[in-house]
Structure 1
């Protein structure tokens, strides 16, 4: 942004002054290039000044815009920013829970902060996934929490049914309540349902929404966001996370085409490197894309056998050599093939090459 003199100004929303200070240090940003808006109340003021360093001041939302502008949660709601060339970045660091935002609430609030930007229809969400265990699903956690809450309600009801004298005497002998979501108030047991709801929301945010790219984009789409262009790839994630994941040729080819033909406004990932991963996984993808093109592959219905034959058909060699290469691809080595199937495969080869000949088993012997 700075080296190339691009006209945009970055407005980066991330709820961590420590994170902001680290970015400033790594990018070697000068005080003239940076505006930081964060909490100025009580101890936060001194702590934030210490983290940022003496050279970097804490600004107000209304202060003049700079090339790089950082905002913590103090600006997430009810704060209007004006910058025609401003681009909104939301950063969610999987290792810092306070930066993970619920899509339906704070995330949506942030999206409306830049009022007059030419780019307000596009939000760049930079995130890393959380590292929590995947053994418990969201549905399982919700079910377990509701069960615990119901047990707490039943426990509190039983205690509260006691006479005032017995209940007060009983509770006075308990140093603390070892029961989730229950507290003592005015000699009665109170069940705090809000705590249970908070547990579910926190689990959903930290251990579900931000656990994988697929979960996050799904949550965005459920809340009305259109994922028009994204730098990461569901297909690449499957390749990276599970090398033996089952991926069809169509999935790989379509993703290869997307990476080749899209150029997002901002991307951490090198599309060339991502394409190389797909090429390594299935070398036929590159050959088909470069030699046949998208329309031809679609016309062949992504059928690998048809594509291989079409590629051979395009080679500058005689039909005899093309037949040999197609036969080599079509028949398994050291494996017996029934005569009827052999004739069918050979006939497809003849048809592909436009040879008016009826396939016979004896042709293979020749």
Structure 2
């Protein structure tokens, strides 16, 4: 088992940059190591970008690098966009990097202030070009390489395993100082499978529990016939009707969420949602792979996420796919989060141990009262592949891989070249079906090797589907474990779980009983956006005993509450309508009072003459009418 070295963070510390000892003695920055920062949004990348080190930040997500480049304009973004004359653009970009390095590392004339240390931002697909430039300048060993969000290497391996494995081999062979950084690293049980990561020192930050907030999740199983498109349509309609997505009470004030970040793993679902709901480009931000750009409806583009944390201005709907959200900073003062996962389709499921923590860490602004809340829509489907079947299949693939690589190693050089060329012609969907043989780049040469990264990814994918997505209870338990849920009082957690699954007719009674039994947990309840806000108002205004007296029937509670809320308005109207000292017939009182009820919006309430005593000092008296009949009247007293 890999040895984990814990680093306790100082009490109250929330950001890595607040603890200068991390890169000044605690972390082995002169070698290679894994750093599990354990907390998203704690400024891991910023720690190195703000340091005196010359740094190369490597990310699997270009959107992250674009955002960081805006925040650090003196950095060099090595990115080659889609274009026709790609080789010419690559050559020019490498020359630009050379000039940047000369400025930031060249000889400084006497008396001039030295420039800040070089900071390079690059995707793992292009990092080889950066290596070449640094090596040509003989300064590669001067640089510290940060592989940011390195858990994506395994997450992406099932569809771009060759690129990711070659990246690992390449950086391990050419770079001397590397930090593999993540808040949700590749689980330790899989690291031993990957030679480049297996024996590295593993550091884990331990944060003060006071700075960690437990997420509030509303977990909702998708019913038959429900999918992301249908549920998002309901969500959009709710917003259009109400003007908000969620609301809660913070320090006695009602706050509203008017932005939504929606995570789903199919671009075609995003397109269907846009078309079905007639969403406009000015309403929608889309974060997905740049390769999907041509598939979007006319007028819609990829990217455009707000990067100004001091004045965030966002569109109403932000749609994100798995290929885009890791490491991205979302700056919003009020956005809610909605997550869709479907265990019935591999590409629509998420890695419970990795992806969910990443998603819930995207909202970076502490002023967003909904940053730790999320609605999770999920679907589970039994996995038809048993553990025995899977292990047997993997054993066969490993044995086949070994036999084929032994044959390759024993071949003549000419035959080796032929085997590499033959393997390069295999279609992507036909790779890693019967073995893990892949074309690996070593010392600038193509050779056949074992793609350990894909093997680990296959194991993890099966584990996720077998132990999480085959059973709703196991999925929820896995989520709670992965997110470290356990800091919230157990009574609150149990109640929230019950509430999210209770029938509508039972919710008010359960809510009132909990508030009556555990008043010390009121603040926890107020800050849950998934509890009907009316319940808070009814309980505060009418009290437990009144709610219980009407057996928690909502229609009766509404009537009593409405009457209470309009009392002052009705009383004022009565003072203006009825004259002191004057007597009124019961019929006149009833009619006048009914008009006041209707004016006050006291809907459904039928006036009675005797109701007037609730609002004015009055008495019932008898008088003789013109025909000598004794009738009852109401006299208004002073």
TM-score by length of 1: 0.52
Contact 1:14 1:91 in 2 (8 A): yes
Taking the aligned partners of 1:154 and 1:160, their CA distance within structure 2 comes to 10
Return the match for 1:193 from 446, 449, 452. Answer: 452
Return the match for 1:113 from 362, 370, 380. Answer: 362
Which residue of 2 is the match for residue 278 of structure 1? none
Structure 1 residue 188: Cα displacement: 7.6
* Distance change >3 Å, CA 224–CA 113, structure 1 → 2: closer
Which residue of 2 is the match for residue 104 of structure 1? 353
Structure 1 residue 35: Cα displacement: 1.9
Mapping 1:101-250, distance limit 5 Å? 101-116=350-365, 117-130=368-381, 134-137=383-386, 139-140=387-388, 143-152=391-400, 154-156=402-404, 159=407, 162=410, 164-165=411-412, 168=415, 179-183=434-438, 190-206=449-465, 208-226=467-485, 228=493, 229-230=496-497
Tell me whether 212-221 or 66-75 shows the greater mean CA deviation: 66-75
Taking the aligned partners of 1:265 and 1:128, their CA distance within structure 2 comes to 23
Structure 1 residue 94: Cα displacement: 4.3
For residues 243-299 of structure 1, the C-alpha deviation after alignment (integer angstroms, 9 at most, x for no partner) is xxxxxxxxxxxxx978962697449xxxxxxxxxxxxxxxxxxxxxx8xxxxxxxxx
Which residue of 1 is the match for residue 271 of structure 2? 21
Confirm or deny that 1:61 pairs with 2:311: no
Contact 1:160 1:167 in 2 (8 A): no
* Distance change >3 Å, CA 191–CA 29, structure 1 → 2: closer
* Distance change >3 Å, CA 197–CA 119, structure 1 → 2: same
Taking the aligned partners of 2:337 and 2:400, their CA distance within structure 1 comes to 44
* Distance change >3 Å, CA 191–CA 35, structure 1 → 2: same
More strand by share: 2
SS in 1 for 2:377: strand
* Distance change >3 Å, CA 154–CA 77, structure 1 → 2: closer
* Distance change >3 Å, CA 96–CA 31, structure 1 → 2: farther
Contact 1:87 1:123 in 2 (8 A): yes
Mapping 1:230-309, distance limit 5 Å? 230=497, 261=510, 265-266=529-530
For residues 116-164 of structure 1, the C-alpha deviation after alignment (integer angstroms, 9 at most, x for no partner) is 221222222122234xx53433x435523542244235524753675x5
* Distance change >3 Å, CA 158–CA 220, structure 1 → 2: same
Taking the aligned partners of 1:27 and 1:90, their CA distance within structure 2 comes to 19
SS in 2 for 1:102: coil
Taking the aligned partners of 1:184 and 1:30, their CA distance within structure 2 comes to 45
Contact 2:380 2:470 in 1 (8 A): yes
Taking the aligned partners of 1:40 and 1:180, their CA distance within structure 2 comes to 28
Taking the aligned partners of 1:232 and 1:136, their CA distance within structure 2 comes to 32
Taking the aligned partners of 2:326 and 2:461, their CA distance within structure 1 comes to 20
* Distance change >3 Å, CA 28–CA 193, structure 1 → 2: same
SS in 2 for 1:2: helix
Taking the aligned partners of 1:216 and 1:200, their CA distance within structure 2 comes to 18
Structure 1 residue 195: Cα displacement: 2.4
* Distance change >3 Å, CA 150–CA 99, structure 1 → 2: closer
For residues 42-94 of structure 1, the C-alpha deviation after alignment (integer angstroms, 9 at most, x for no partner) is x422222x3xx43x454511172233322233541222112221111122244
* Distance change >3 Å, CA 129–CA 259, structure 1 → 2: farther
Larger Rg: 2
* Distance change >3 Å, CA 260–CA 93, structure 1 → 2: farther
Return the match for 2:261 from 2, 6, 11. Answer: 11
More helix by share: 1
Taking the aligned partners of 1:212 and 1:103, their CA distance within structure 2 comes to 13
Higher relative contact order (CA 8 A, sep 6+): 2
Return the match for 1:82 from 331, 336, 343. Answer: 331
SS in 1 for 2:243: coil
For residues 11-62 of structure 1, the C-alpha deviation after alignment (integer angstroms, 9 at most, x for no partner) is 1122322212222333444445x22222473x422222x3xx43x4545111
* Distance change >3 Å, CA 146–CA 31, structure 1 → 2: closer
* Distance change >3 Å, CA 225–CA 217, structure 1 → 2: farther
